Chain A
């Protein structure tokens, strides 16, 4: 199945904003659940590790906050035609897309080089960390190759 045919990338902007609204609600709910589980002591009782409990409550708080902010932003956008039009132009603007694509390429390169350096440095000290980082590089390599062939077929 071609990605372009799924409609995920070519859907009208209004529909895209509505989908994002639902995603933001889902993210806020997941965040809320994580906080609730932490407050109920689920992580503390089962895992008995304060750091992990703190991690889940922090992640939950972040997800809930981000979800609520995105939800409010998208709702305001849907209700205000001026704001909606400005957001649509900003998102579809070809220079913005060009800049974002360049940014993704540069960021991916920097992150992968960091992971590679991390793998080389950590190998003599901690094999688990090194193998985890190596796995990330492996997944990246497979994803890159697969994406290249899929996208090459489309154009």
Chain B
């Protein structure tokens, strides 16, 4: 699962701390999400979509399994 959280956050000039606080998680979770180590739950994905005012599909992308 690929995501565009880092790009969207940087485009909108938010810090990881601000994003974390807005969606109710720790900064470490944002770091893990951005690095692709952790996959967000559906409720968190909705919160992120709401925060970035975009669709979930614009944030997350399924990658083809090789």
Residues of B with C-beta under 8 A to A96: 26, 29
Interface residues of B in 17-45 (CB under 8 A from A): 20-21, 24-26, 28-29, 32, 38, 40-41, 44
Closest residue of chain B to A95 (Cβ to Cβ) is: B29
A133 to B23, CA, bound (A): 46
How many A residues are at the interface, by size bracket?
Answer: under 10
Residues of A with C-beta under 8 A to B28: 93, 95
Q: Contact flags (1/0) for A69-99 with B, using CB distance below 8 Å? A: 0000000000000000000011011111010
Closest residue of chain A to B41 (Cβ to Cβ) is: A94
Q: Contact flags (1/0) for A132-153 with B, using CB distance below 8 Å? A: 0000000000000000000000
Residues of A with C-beta under 8 A to B38: 95, 98
Residues of A with C-beta under 8 A to B26: 89-90, 93, 95-96
Residues of B with C-beta under 8 A to A94: 25, 29, 40-41, 44
Q: Contact flags (1/0) for B39-60 with A, using CB distance below 8 Å? A: 0110010000000000000000
> How far does the Cβ of B23 sit from chain A's closest Cβ, in whole Å?
10
**A89 touches which one: B25, B40, B41 (CB < 8 A)?**
B25
A90 to B29, CA, bound (A): 10
> How far does the Cβ of B40 sit from chain A's closest Cβ, in whole Å?
8
> How far does the Cβ of B37 sit from chain A's closest Cβ, in whole Å?
9
8 closest Cβ contacts across the A-B interface?
A: A95-B29, A93-B26, A93-B25, A94-B41, A95-B38, A93-B29, A95-B32, A90-B26
Name A residues whose Cβ lies closer than 8 Å to a Cβ of B. Answer: 89-90, 92-96, 98
The contact sample of 26 A-B pairs, CB cut-off 8 A, is A89-B20, A89-B21, A89-B24, A89-B25, A89-B26, A90-B26, A92-B24, A93-B24, A93-B25, A93-B26, A93-B28, A93-B29, A94-B25, A94-B29, A94-B40, A94-B41, A94-B44, A95-B25, A95-B26, A95-B28, A95-B29, A95-B32, A95-B38, A96-B26, A96-B29, A98-B38
Q: A89-B20, A94-B41, A95-B25 are in contact. List 8 more A-B contacts (CB 8 A).
A: A93-B24, A93-B29, A94-B25, A94-B29, A95-B28, A95-B29, A96-B26, A96-B29
